[in-house]
Amino acid sequence: METLHLNKKSKISGSITLPGSKSLSNRALLLSAVAKGTTRLHNLLRSDDTARMIDALKALGVKLYEDGDVMVVEGIGSAFKCSAEKRIVLDLGNAGTAMRPLCAMLSISEGCFELTGEVRMMERPIGPLSESLKTLGLSIEYLNNPGFPPLLIRGGMVNTHEVHVDGSTSSQFISALLMSAPLCGGLTIKVDGDLISKPYVDLTIALIEKFGAKVTRQGYRSFTVAAGDYVSPSDYLVEGDASGATYFCAAAAIAGEITVNGIGEESTQGDINFLKVLEKMGARVERFKSCVKVYKAPELLGIDIDMNNMPDAAMTLVPMALYTKGKVRITNIASWRVKETDRIAAMVKEMSKLGVNVNSGEDFIEIDASVRNHDEVTFDTYNDHRMAMSMSLAAFDRDININDPECTKKTFPDYFGLFSKVCE
């Protein structure tokens, strides 16, 4: 395993161009594959998560090829049609945005499919989605532990058009049902429990509408999607990754200024609202059509904030506590425990290495860095891209080392290249 050494940084300046959003890339790939017509995807993220989706789509018989920087997807115009005689095994790594949507789409396709992935993927829940698909008459078996991948799916037809799903563990279950809904003859999706990560559901609806779906909704309680084919929008430009942007924007709030290209005032991603959090903490932000600029806060303020709507961006706030006047307290983030690692436990362990005071519970973390050591520390990253990217912000406080920096390949393979380009 490689370890990356980062000398203490004193400032960030200049500009970066973001890779495409993971959430939009994997949604756009799947929708293009099942749409009528050919789609040219611009600024598609190239990372492990999207490679898993691309490889899966190819194994399912979809033609995808690169034309320069553009990914061309020849849509099949329906759910997948594979032979039921041969089991197709899809290794989806640790990509939630591949596992959950494919689980739903394959259960209404023709064929026999095994969905598997990394060891951690086998610990990430999928029960609420698969159980709700079963109530539609679809066939999903757990090959190992009930409620978790690997899954054996025998594609079939729904026998009803209304489904209940619990939204309190992952919004991806609702997004998965929404994406499959038009192709199974239409669906009313009733959400039980308190839906988390709501902006990702809005992102899904915006994208399926772009591909021609008709959606009506009652807030976040009930969604009705009409039957119909998806139709390719021909060309689709993937926005830059707003979650990936948060590290650079946070660094600027701490120590300089940055222009981030690829997101702007019209971004549809929930994590764009991290900029508002930075403003609350004292940073100055300027928003334009296709870029944002962030400037150092004269004094960075602590914050006590519910981050349920931005679970990924929330991680960026943790190391920011090293630079704030007052504590950083992040609440309503229970979903951290079932993501790439138990992110609350991992953050407590890594932040404690800095000698700061960390308090945590089932769904919150609080950091008081008014007392801390000044040691050079080595951070473990738990095969979690966001642990590696978040902890890089500690380099404005001291020399640090990051174990397994390569884990950023899940969503942002060149993260440390860009970080070194703009931070000195």
Ligand X SMILES: O=C(O)C1=C[C@@H](OP(=O)(O)O)[C@@H](O)[C@H](O)C1
Ligand Y SMILES: C=C(OP(=O)(O)O)C(=O)O
Mark out the alpha helices in 195-285 (DSSP H runs). 198-210, 242-255, 274-280
Q: Which of 241, 271, 312, 397 is catalytic?
A: 312
- State yes or no: residue 133 binds ligand X (CB under 6 A): no
Q: How far is the CB of 370 from ligand X (least distance, A)?
A: 30
Annotated binding site for phosphoenolpyruvate: 22, 96, 124, 172, 343, 386, 410
Q: How far is the CB of 358 from ligand Y (least distance, A)?
A: 20
- State yes or no: residue 308 binds ligand X (CB under 6 A): no
Pairing relationship of beta strands 38-42 and 87-91 according to DSSP bridges = unpaired
- State yes or no: residue 259 binds ligand X (CB under 6 A): no
In the region spanning residues 151 to 180, those forming contacts with ligand X, defined by CB under 6 A, are 170-172, 175
Place of tokens 């991992």: 346
The encoded tokens of residue 282 equal: 């004292």
Q: Which of 60, 103, 196, 208 is close enough to bind ligand X by CB under 6 A?
A: 196
Pairing relationship of beta strands 112-116 and 87-91 according to DSSP bridges = parallel
- State yes or no: residue 311 binds ligand X (CB under 6 A): yes
d(CA 240, CA 245) in angstroms, rounded, equals 8
Residue 386 binding partner per list ligand Y, ligand X, none, with a CB distance cut-off of 5 to 8 Å that depends on partner kind: ligand Y
Annotated binding site: 22-23, 27, 96, 124, 170-172, 197, 312, 339, 343, 386, 410
Max alpha carbon distance in the chain (Å)? Answer: 65
Q: How far is the CB of 282 from ligand Y (least distance, A)?
A: 26
Residue 47 binding partner per list ligand X, ligand Y, none, with a CB distance cut-off of 5 to 8 Å that depends on partner kind: none
Q: How far is the CB of 47 from ligand Y (least distance, A)?
A: 10
Q: In terms of CB distance, is 9 or 410 closer to ligand Y? A: 410
Q: How far is the CB of 373 from ligand X (least distance, A)?
A: 31
Is residue 239 within 8 A of residue 262, CB to CB? The reply is yes
d(CA 53, CA 367) in angstroms, rounded, equals 37
Residue 171 binding partner per list ligand X, ligand Y, none, with a CB distance cut-off of 5 to 8 Å that depends on partner kind: ligand X
Q: Count Cα neighbours of 101 within 13 Å in the Cβ-side half-sphere.
A: 31
The encoded tokens of residue 332 equal: 């309503």
d(CA 345, CA 367) in angstroms, rounded, equals 13
Q: How far is the CB of 23 from ligand X (least distance, A)?
A: 3
Is residue 402 within 8 A of residue 381, CB to CB? The reply is yes
Beta-bridge partner residues of 303:
328
Q: In terms of CB distance, is 94 or 169 closer to ligand Y? A: 94
Look at residue 28 and give its three-state secondary structure.
helix
- With residues binned 3-state (H G I as helix, E B as strand, rest as coil), the percentages for the chain, rounded to 5, are 35, 25, 35
d(CA 394, CA 419) in angstroms, rounded, equals 13
Q: In terms of CB distance, is 75 or 199 closer to ligand Y? A: 199
Interface ranges with ligand Y (CB under 6 A): 94-97, 312, 339-340, 386, 411
- State yes or no: residue 130 binds ligand X (CB under 6 A): no
Is residue 124 within 8 A of residue 101, CB to CB? The reply is no
Q: In terms of CB distance, is 93 or 302 closer to ligand Y? A: 93
Q: In terms of CB distance, is 97 or 246 closer to ligand Y? A: 97
- State yes or no: residue 23 binds ligand X (CB under 6 A): yes
Report how far Cα 398 is from the mean position of its chain's Cα atoms: 29
Query: Is 312 annotated as catalytic?
Result: yes
Q: In terms of CB distance, is 175 or 259 closer to ligand X? A: 175
Q: Which residue numbers are catalytic? A: 312
